[in-house]
Chain A
Amino acid sequence: MIESSWMILLLPFISFIGGILFLHKQPKLAAGFSILCNGAAMVMALILAVGFLSSDDTGYHALAHTWSYDWFAITDTLTVSIGALLDPISIMMLVVITVISTLVHTYSIGYMENDASAGRFFPLLSFFVFSMLGLVIAPTLVQMFVFWELVGVSSYMLIGFWYHKPSAVAASKKAFIITRFADAFFLTGIILMATQFGSIGFDAINQGATAFSSMNTANPSFSLEGGAVQVFTALAAQEGSAGFLGLNLLSWATILIFIGGWGKSAMFPLHVWLPDAMEGPTPVSSIIHSATMVVAGIYLTARLFPVFAVAEYTLSVVEFTGAITALFAAIIACTQRDIKRILAFSTLSQLGYMMFSLGVADMEHTAGFTASMFHVFTHAFFKCLLFLSAGLIIHSVHSNDIALMGGLRKKLKGTYFVTLLAVCAIAGVPFLFSGFWSKEEIIMAAWSNGHQCSAIIGLLVGGLTAFYMGRYFFLIFHGEYRGDAHHLEHAHENKFMLFPMVLLAIPTIIAGYPMLTGHTFFNTVIPQATLPTHPDHSASWIMPVAIAMAIGGLLVAWLKYGRRAVSFDTPSTNIVYRCISNKFYIDECYIFVTKKIIFRCVAAPMKLCDDYIVDGIIHSSAAIMRGCAAVIRHWQNGQTHVYLGLMIIGLALLAWFGGAL
């Protein structure tokens, strides 16, 4: 299976090419074809995962470089190749992506059934999946960047799928440009890695970094080969160097690389594109938020964890960014009224968890790393489920505004039930649901590794999460219906849409249990590390507190929104859809910086400079020429007496120079 892992990458690509070239006029065929391809990829990924789990050697050394194609050579030592690196985290991502993609494709049959451009939708969705799969199996930084950009392109096309809507077009542009902005840093970091540390391969970089970090321990035992030696030497040479602005080259390179993940994972303050990305069709949102795109940044950080850990400050930046985002997004989520925006901010908040969890780990205490990957795994399923159910709800009531919903539990029974499960999972309702376990792990890891501040933020955000998800749930499903009754009459649950949701409910519950049976699947990428140490028991008070926060949050939400009818003051409903209530005015800041400062104060003066100064000098040189010509022309006017006079002057001058006068 490992040998044919390239098929997993190829199948969605076939679905894209075949669909876009031949099937874009036949939506039904395109849908069937892409489900077939993605389903086959899912089966292969599952077989791969089962094979991997059942093999004895599940550590780092089981990683497999199965195939590789040399793309182009940049220098003698630096060749860009495309290949696959299969190790615990990439296989985990393969499973998550292919499972979710298959379910989302199935769901889209129902969602897009009345859309004329559905034939274009399925191939593009498959292309999105292809890009993300290429990203997670990347064995080198450059391959990751390549697919990283393709993820950007496909998200651009999918967010702006309804290209006739100006808001969708603007949102797609925003997403692309903000992530591209971060990618410029990422690219710089990659180039620094390639040129200064001599390698773009994750193996070489991570092995070199691990060897370097174990150099100071009691028994440095490592044998290096290939690029890892170069990386090790470069790291050793960096040690103690003052660097630039107090950061040495390694910190610069890793932080620059991390900024790439910062943008893609929509960490504060580069998060602004994610809520707007809601403009795309809901299946796209669900796949962006669960399996593709936003976890790319987390995945990148995890992939390069050893070298991030070796670099000074880098993991602190990661932790800080994650914690701020988790808190910030959770606060905003409590105030939003757009059903998809609430979920978007909850994604931001959960991404913050994953990010700070990576930041609290280090080379000796890898629990945070494991917890982060665990949360990526569990979150993907319940977040996908939440979005799919949101899509179904929007489909039924023709509105995104939770002020226009309420009481939907009578009409949408299946949706009600599966959403309940997903809400319990994300809110961290204890013991039964996957989200509880992974969130617990993260907070435990943070506390036991001495990052109390992050752990407390984690607990706090847990409470907020329970509150806003409770609010979300009660406002939609409980109370009385507040919208246009006309819509509700036609509300029904499309079976293509409901079926994947029911299937997703299974991992929403059971995805937490692998954790009980040991960390096999979430083994670390850190070479030669021991199995992750379990959090120490001094932190055992955390679990009850976390449970209390979760229950308390839900309880407050019930008291505020579930128990009695809620009135929304704003009578007008349509403007609310476009209205961004506060969000700390960060979008306005962006608009100010781009429109007012960059466009008006940088680009516009440059254009003026080009038109009037640079071109002005060129034109005035022509004018000077013409002026000189105008002066000289008067001496060449064909009048004999002028010529005669000039001749006399000339002769006189000649004579004077000759000494005759």
Chain B
Amino acid sequence: MPFLLNCTWILPTLIALSLMFVPKQKVGVIRGMSVAGVLGILALVVSLIIAFLAGDYASPVGSAETTLAFSYRTPWFEAIGNQFYTGVDGFSLLMMLMASIIALCGVLVSWTITDRCKEFFILLFILLAGTFGCFISFDLLTFFLFNEITLIPTYLLIAIFGSGKKEFAAMKLNLMLFGGSALIILGMAGTYSATGSFDMIAIANNQSETLGSIAMWAFPALFMGFGILGSVFPFHTWSPVGHASAPTAISMFLAGVHMKLGGYGCLRAAIYLMPEGAQEWMPLFMVLATISVVYGAFIAIRQRDLKYINAYASISHVGLVTFGFATLTAVGLKGGVLQMISHGFVTAVVFALIGCIYGRTHTRNIDEMGGLMKKIPFLSVCFVLAGFAVVGMPGTSSFVAELTIFIAGFSGSLDDTLRLVCGALCISSIVITAVYVLRTVNSVVHGPLVDNGHEFTDARFIEKVPLIILLTCIFAMGLFPGWIIELAEQSLTPVVTNLGR
């Protein structure tokens, strides 16, 4: 099992390597291999989940008494006492499941790419390898390395395959994320100096006063470092321009999965390792999260470009993740995790739809669209459904996640005025969300048909598949969230226990 677990990053690497030997004219082979590759990863993740659920992990994974599921450890950089340490808990498995589904859909929506198709898929699989590596690492240094691996293909994918100001966008995205990495290194150095270890579980169980005092500056460094990746205000500006310039599949993966590495890191590396620091600094991050939520939603009202609208909507919704974390309660953390998964699917389907619609209208400006329901009903209905998912309608995954987060804002004693105000502001964002979503939906799919609309054709089969997969995930998670919540809850127990110490 530990080997299978590591296969989640080895397999994409191997596919990337073997794609290099395929002649670039053989587009069919490249596509076939890519689809087979992502399906293989998906099968791998599903079998891991089945094994995990079947296994006896009654005592919460990651607590001091037990080892991680499928853990594997081997010395690496022995000079600094570092180990290559991988394993999973419910949280990472859920993230991996989401990532592999979005990767599958991303490959399918990239079907139309013919120009430098080979390079595109090679880079995509390197990105996948890095992402999965992050989700299974339980060693800070390993985690960091995998995180850095994801940045390089991101840069190339945007700069080569993007649109608009693609070089600038790629550079801005990467420079800001590298800035985040610098903060992460700072935080890692802090924890290392206090504990002499990069082992996350060892650090988390370390209750020394040295770590407690170092956490006062190492925690904000780590949290903000990952927060930049999670586009927390005021370091969110890379994401609209980055998402807008990236090709469809990369927008889906960046906003759906890669941004979640930020939230993942905030929880796994910052809050879990340094609960004392978290208690100290969380008011600040709660304020920043609330600003992201409200501010992102308001700016989305003013945007005209579909991708920008969704990018700011993402900032707003990922802000809710941070808000959930910032409540530092079991409910809030759980809500944050659920929102990460939910938002991954929702934003991916929105970006996929934007890609499909752009392929027909050749514009992303909502003022130049209208009445698409008449000509392309399938895409339009999906667009409306996705819109409802963004709004957080019951039945979609967002409702489950957002309700949990909002409840965290008001649970327990109501003495904390800051939390109440922030919670109320976050709830108010559901109205602003409704405004920009309905405005967008109405001007794109409703109203009179645009002049050039008569030649539009509805989605082809290959376009329908990813949309149906993603919408099914959204509704399935909205209607039957039980096992997801259980997995998340179980894996969060050590974090909550740590917070209470």
Which residues of A are at the interface with B, using a C-beta cutoff of 8 A?
A: 70-75, 78, 80, 142, 145-147, 149-150, 153, 156, 160, 163-164, 166, 169-170, 172-173, 176-177, 180-181, 183-184, 187-188, 191-192, 194-196, 249, 599, 602-604, 606-607, 610, 614-615, 617-618, 622
Which one of A142, A196, A607 contacts B302 once the chains associate, using CB atoms below 8 Å? A607
With a cutoff of 8 Å between Cβ atoms, the chain B residues found around residue A75 in the complex are: 330-331, 407, 411
Q: Given the complex, which residues of B lie within 8 Å of A181, measured CB to CB?
A: 431
Q: Within residues 229 to 264 of chain B, which ones have a CB less than 8 A from any CB in chain A?
A: 233-237
CA–CA, A89 to B435, complex, Å? 34
**Distance between Cα atoms of A510 and B191 in the complex (Å):** 79
Asked if A249 and B414 make an inter-chain contact with CB atoms under 8 angstroms apart, the answer reads yes
User: Hey, which chain B residues are within 8 Å of A194, CB to CB?
Assistant: 407
Q: Which of B233, B299, B427, B438 contacts A177 (CB 8 A)?
A: B438
Inter-chain contact A150/B234, CB cutoff 8 Å: no
Q: Is A191 a contact partner of B447 (Cβ separation < 8 A)?
A: no
Looking at the assembled complex, report how far the CB atom of B429 sits from the nearest CB atom of chain A, in whole angstroms.
9
- By a CB distance below 8 angstroms, the chain A residues around B447 are 163-164, 166, 169
Q: What per-residue 1/0 map shows which CB atoms of B384-411 lie under 8 Å from chain A?
A: 0000100101110001100110110111
What's the least CB distance linking B157 to chain A, in Å? Answer: 22
Shortest C-beta distance, A146 to chain B (Å), equals 4
In the assembled complex, the CB of A62 is this many whole angstroms from the nearest CB of chain B, namely 29
CB distance from B412 to the nearest CB of A (A): 7
Most A CB within 10 A of own CB, among B388, B394, B407, B485: B394
Contact in complex: B234, A614 (CB < 8 Å) = yes
Residues of A within 8 A of B485 (CB): 72-73
Partner of A606 from the list B172, B298, B399 (CB cut-off 8 Å) is B298
Given contacts A163-B373, A191-B410, A603-B301, 9 further A-B contacts (CB under 8 A): A73-B482, A153-B388, A156-B438, A163-B445, A169-B447, A181-B431, A187-B403, A606-B298, A614-B234
A180 lies within 8 A of B431 (CB): yes
B482, A72: Cβ atoms closer than 8 Å: yes
Q: Which residue from chain A places its CB closest to the CB of B295 in the assembled complex? A: A606
**Most chain B beta-carbon contacts within 10 A, residue among A169, A176, A181:** A169
A196: nearest chain-B partner, CB-CB:
B414
**Distance, CA A306 to CA B447, complexed state (A):** 46
Bound-state Cα–Cα, A10 to B303, Å: 41
12 A-B pairs, CB-CB below 8 angstroms? A153-B393, A169-B442, A169-B446, A173-B438, A176-B438, A180-B391, A191-B410, A191-B427, A192-B410, A249-B414, A606-B302, A610-B295
What CA separation (Å) do A160 and B371 show in the bound complex? 12
Docked pose: A606 CA to B298 CA in angstroms:
7
Given A72-B485, A184-B427, A196-B410, also A164-B374 (CB < 8 A):
yes
With the chains together, A147 CA to B394 CA distance in Å? 8
**Does the CB pair A622–B448 fall under 8 Å?**
no
Residues of chain B within 8 A of A607, CB atoms compared = 298-299, 302-303
Contact among B430, B434, B481 for A187, CB-based, below 8 A: B430
Q: Are A610 and B406 in contact (CB under 8 A)?
A: no
Provide the residues of chain B in CB contact with A142, threshold 8 Å: 403
Complex-state Cα separation, A52 to B256, whole angstroms: 52
Contacts A150-B393, A184-B427 hold; do A74 and B404 have CB atoms under 8 A apart?
yes
A227 to B318, CA, bound (A): 34
Contacts of A147 in B (CB 8 A): 394
8 Å CB contact of B407 from A163, A173, A191: A191
**Contact in complex: A599, B301 (CB < 8 Å):** yes
- Residues from chain A with a CB closer than 8 A to the CB of B406 are 187-188, 191
Question: What's the nearest-Cβ distance from chain A to residue B89, in Å?
Answer: 19
- Which residues of chain B are near A149, meaning CB under 8 Å? 393-394, 399
In the bound assembly, the distance between CA atoms of A604 and B295 in angstroms comes to 11
> Which of chain B's residues has its CB closest to A252's CB?
B414
Contact between A184 and B446, CB atoms less than 8 A apart: no
A622 near B302 with CB under 8 A, answer no
Q: What residues of B have a CB within 8 angstroms of the CB of A177 in the complex?
A: 431, 434-435, 438
Q: Please name all residues of chain B whose beta carbon is closer than 8 Å to the beta carbon of A176 when the two chains form the complex.
A: 434, 438
- Bound together, the chains give a CA A194 to CA B404 distance in angstroms of 12
Enumerate chain B residues within 8 angstroms of A173, measured Cβ to Cβ.
Answer: 438-439, 442
**B472: Cβ under 8 A from any A Cβ:** no
Which residues of chain A have C-beta atoms less than 8 A from B400's C-beta? 72
- Residue-wise, chain B 422-460 has the 8 Å CB interface mask toward A (1 for contact) of 001001101100110011001001111100000000000
Q: Are A72 and B481 in contact (CB under 8 A)?
A: yes
Interchain CA distance A615-B487 in the complex, whole Å: 39
Cβ 8 A contact of B175, one of A80, A610, A622: A622
Q: How far, in angstroms, from A372 to B235 measured CA to CA in the complex?
A: 54
In the assembled complex, the CB of B411 is this many whole angstroms from the nearest CB of chain A, namely: 4
- B330 nearest CB neighbor, chain A only: A75
Question: Which partner residue on chain B sits nearest A625 by CB separation?
Answer: B175
Most A CB within 10 A of own CB, among B295, B388, B438, B449: B438
CB contact under 8 A between A618 and B407, given known A169-B446, A603-B302, A607-B299: no
Q: Give CA–CA (A177, B446) in the complex, Å.
A: 17
Minimum Cβ distance to chain A for residue B170 (Å): 14
Nearest residue, chain B, Cβ from A162: B446
Query: Which residues 282-327 of B sit at the A interface, judged by CB distance below 8 A?
Result: 295, 298-299, 301-303
CA distance A78 to B391 in the complex (A): 24
Does B202 make an interface contact (CB < 8 A)?
no
Whether the Cβ atoms of B176 and A618 lie closer than 8 Å is yes
CB-CB nearest in chain A for B394: A146
Interface 0/1 of B363-384, CB less than 8 Å to A? 0000000010110000000000
How far is B427's CA from A183's CA once the two chains are assembled, in angstroms? Answer: 10
Which B residue's beta carbon lies closest to that of A606? Answer: B298
The CA-CA distance from A552 to B438 in the complex, in Å, is: 46
Complex Cα spacing A520 to B412, Å: 42
B442 surroundings in chain A (CB, below 8 A)? 160, 169-170, 172-173
Cα A172 to Cα B434 in complex, Å, equals: 12
Q: In the complex, which residue of chain A has the Cβ closest to the Cβ of B300?
A: A603
What residues on A are CB-neighbors of B237 within 8 Å?
Answer: 610, 614-615, 618
Known contacts A72-B485, A166-B448, A603-B301; A195/B411 CB under 8 A: yes
**Contact call B430/A180, Cβ cutoff below 8 A:** yes
What's the Cα separation between A188 and B485 when bound, in Å?
22
Distance in Å: Cβ of B336 to nearest Cβ of chain A: 13
Give every chain A residue within 8 A of B435 (Cβ-Cβ). Answer: 177
Q: CB distance A150 to B411 under 8 Å?
A: no
Chain A residues within an 8 Å CB radius of B410 = 188, 191-192, 195-196
A20 closest partner in B (C-beta): B381
Nearest Cβ in chain A — how far from B76, in angstroms?
Answer: 34
Contact between A187 and B295 (Cβ–Cβ < 8 Å)?
A: no
Chain A neighbourhood of B298, CB < 8 A = 602-603, 606-607
> What is the CB-to-nearest-CB distance from A110 to chain B, in angstroms, rounded to a whole number?
25
Shortest Cβ distance from A24 into B: residue:
B377
Q: Who on chain A is nearest to B176 by CB? A: A618
List chain B residues, Cβ under 8 A from A604: 302
Are A187 and B427 CB-contacts (below 8 A) given A73-B485, A602-B298?
yes
| Bound: A95/B402 CA distance, A | 34
Tell me the smallest distance from the CB of B309 to a CB of chain A, in Å: 12
Q: Which B464-484 residues sit within 8 Å CB-CB of chain A?
A: 481-482
Q: Min CB distance, A352 to chain B, in Å? A: 25
Give the residue name and chain of the A residue nearest to B412 (CB): A195
Nearest-neighbour CB distance to chain B for A99, whole angstroms, equals 26
* Chain A positions within 8 Å of B373 at CB level: 163
Task: Write out the residue numbers on chain B whose beta carbons fall within 8 Å of the beta carbon of A71.
Answer: 481-482
- Bound together, the chains give a CA A146 to CA B402 distance in angstroms of 13
Task: Provide the residues of chain B in CB contact with A169, threshold 8 Å.
Answer: 442, 446-447
On whether the beta carbons of B330 and A184 are closer than 8 Å, the reply is no
CA distance A150 to B393 in the complex (A): 7
How far does the Cβ of B440 sit from chain A's closest Cβ, in whole Å? 11
- Tell me the bound Cα distance from A72 to B397 in angstroms: 11
| Minimal beta-carbon separation of A335 from chain B (angstroms) | 30
Q: Nearest CB to that of B445 among chain A residues? A: A163
Minimal Cβ-Cβ distance residue in B for A602: B298
Contacts of B295 in A (CB 8 A): 606, 610
Give the CA-CA distance A139 to B19 in the complex, in Å: 57
Interface contact B438-A195, CB-CB below 8 Å: no
